[in-house]
Amino acid sequence: MKKFELMALPYQAEALEPVISARTLQFHHGKHLQAYVNNLNNLLPGTPWEGLSLEDIVCQAQGGILNNAGQVLNHNLYFGQFTSPKKDNFPSGKLAAAINAQFGSFNNFCQEFVKAGTTLFGSGWVWLSADADGRLVITQEPNAANPIQKGLCPLLTFDVWEHAYYLDYQNRRPDHLDALWQIIDWTVVEARYVHD
Ligand code: MN
């Protein structure tokens, strides 16, 4: 059976500094995500979910397989959405229009998103997703959950597990989340927003 593989990062480990250090990236991608990939590959053989796509496993499986598949899918979306720090880093096009229409302004959206990430108790992920009508929604998902389990299309995510920021920011989760706006690759996020 084909095994799931560790995604290749689309940038160098130093590329996101100082927002995310190379050291954090090397542990987060090379150790944490690699462990989720390995666990998933070890757990799948002989189960009903062997051979399914990552998305189908996340929507159908349970227990350790669900948790590890969820973390692989979540991290693939997370690491895939970054680029080197930029000033005046904003979305454009249809996604920008939808953000402005629903949240009033990009700044207000950022504040609501960071608030959702800051108030998520324990480990988990904050998400911007689109529903079937293209309407945007911010959700807090605990542990390894993903909005596709609710029928939503995930667009953007911040990882609020402590392993995502503790080496660089210690307990200052809000500071970490505020800094992430500098490194969002909006062309990637906009491409995930396929609604017409
Ligand atoms: Mn993580």
Distance from the CA of 142 to the center of ligand 1, in angstroms? 12
pLDDT at 167 exceeding the cut of 90: yes
In DSSP notation, 84-139 reads S--SS----HHHHHHHHHHHSSHHHHHHHHHHHHHH--SSEEEEEEE-TTS-EEEE
pTM above 0.75, yes or no: yes
- What pLDDT band is residue 195 in, cutting at 50, 70 and 90? low
Distance from the CA of 32 to the center of ligand 1, in angstroms? 7
Distance from the CA of 90 to the center of ligand 1, in angstroms? 24
Query: pLDDT, tens digit, for every residue of 123-145?
Result: 999 999 999 999 999 999 999 99
Distance from the CA of 140 to the center of ligand 1, in angstroms? 15
pLDDT at 196 exceeding the cut of 80: no
Query: pLDDT, tens digit, for every residue of 12-24?
Result: 999 999 999 999 9
SS (H, E, C) 59-75: HHCCHHHHHHHHHHHHH
Distance from the CA of 180 to the center of ligand 1, in angstroms? 14
State residue 2's pLDDT score. 80
Query: pLDDT, tens digit, for every residue of 55-72?
Result: 999 999 999 999 999 999
Distance from the CA of 22 to the center of ligand 1, in angstroms? 15
Instruction: Kindly state the DSSP code that residue 162 receives in the 8-state scheme.
Output: G
